[in-house]
């Protein structure tokens, strides 16, 4: 039962983190790839930043932001809401760390959409937003789904940022990676191996679906 609880919380945090990332990844990818907004090189660098710094730095930044003295945490504290050391803080940490992987995949998918089709829709009077939802996203959906799965599998393995901003609280913020860490410290090798097996199984299943989607997309593009 304890194992199921840890697994359920891990999936919950990863799903919420992925759901937070998806609209942001779609919007940022659209701005960088399709709209080519000024300063897109800076946006592009910021997208990859969580990959370039240690996860513990991300966690500490979130702790400063969401803590009672932080810009966001202070406002929420006035409303009686505390995010630090909650499962939602863990979801935010997972979202930030996994965002670059999802966004990069979405960018590649959108970049593969034939711009002539989008231009044809615009010439017929469709707005940029309508073209995005009726042309760009439907044609890029396999790549977008692959990005979602890639972000999800990174979210379920998040450790460094999570332990800083959410702690390692059993039944509240303890995910699979944190539980493995705890069992190793306690010397319970049997439980650690069970948790590792579940973690690897979940990751492999997600990656298999991810690779299957990419293979289908490649076959479709190849005719």
- Going by C-alpha positions, the residue among 104, 90, 85, 60 that lies closest to residue 156 is 90
Residue-wise pLDDT tens digits, 31-74: 899 887 787 788 888 999 999 999 999 999 999 999 988 889 98
Query: Quick one: pLDDT at residue 155?
Result: 95
pLDDT of residue 3: 86
Instruction: Record the tokens describing residue 57, joined without a space.
Output: 């730095």
- pLDDT score of 223: 55
pLDDT score recorded for residue 221: 63
CATH superfamily of 2-221: MetI-like (1.10.3720.10)
What per-residue confidence (pLDDT) applies to 41?
82
Q: What is the pLDDT of residue 222?
A: 59
Q: What pLDDT shows up at residue 131?
A: 93
Cα distance between residue 170 and residue 5, in whole Å: 9
Residue 187 confidence (pLDDT): 94
3-state secondary structure of 97: helix
Residue ranges for the chain with pLDDT beneath 70: 1, 217, 220-223
Per DSSP, 158 falls in state: -
- Residue pair 209/149 in contact (Cβ under 8 Å)? The answer is yes
Contact indicator for 3, 194 with CB cutoff of 8 Å: yes
């Amino acid at each position: 039962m304890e194992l199921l609880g840890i697994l359920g919380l891990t999936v919950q945090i990863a799903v919420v983190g992925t759901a937070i990332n998806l609209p942001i990844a779609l919007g940022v990818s659209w701005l960088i790839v399709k709209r080519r907004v000024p300063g897109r090189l800076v946006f592009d660098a910021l997208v990859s930043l969580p990959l370039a710094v240690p996860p513990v730095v991300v966690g500490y930044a979130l702790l400063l932001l969401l803590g009672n003295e932080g810009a966001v945490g202070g406002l929420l504290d006035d409303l009686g809401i505390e995010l630090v050391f909650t499962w939602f803080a863990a979801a935010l940490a997972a979202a930030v760390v996994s965002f670059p992987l999802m966004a990069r995949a979405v960018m590649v998918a959108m970049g593969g959409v034939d711009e002539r089709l989008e231009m044809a829709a615009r010439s017929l009077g469709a707005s940029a937003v309508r073209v995005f939802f009726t042309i760009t996203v439907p044609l890029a959906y396999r790549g977008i789904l692959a990005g979602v799965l890639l972000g999800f599998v990174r979210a379920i393995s998040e450790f460094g940022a999570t332990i800083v901003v959410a702690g390692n609280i059993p039944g509240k913020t303890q995910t699979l990676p944190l539980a493995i860490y705890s069992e190793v410290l306690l010397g319970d090798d049997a439980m650690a191996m069970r948790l590792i097996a579940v973690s690897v199984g979940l990751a492999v299943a997600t990656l298999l679906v991810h690779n299957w989607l990419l293979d289908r997309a490649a076959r479709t593009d190849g005719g």
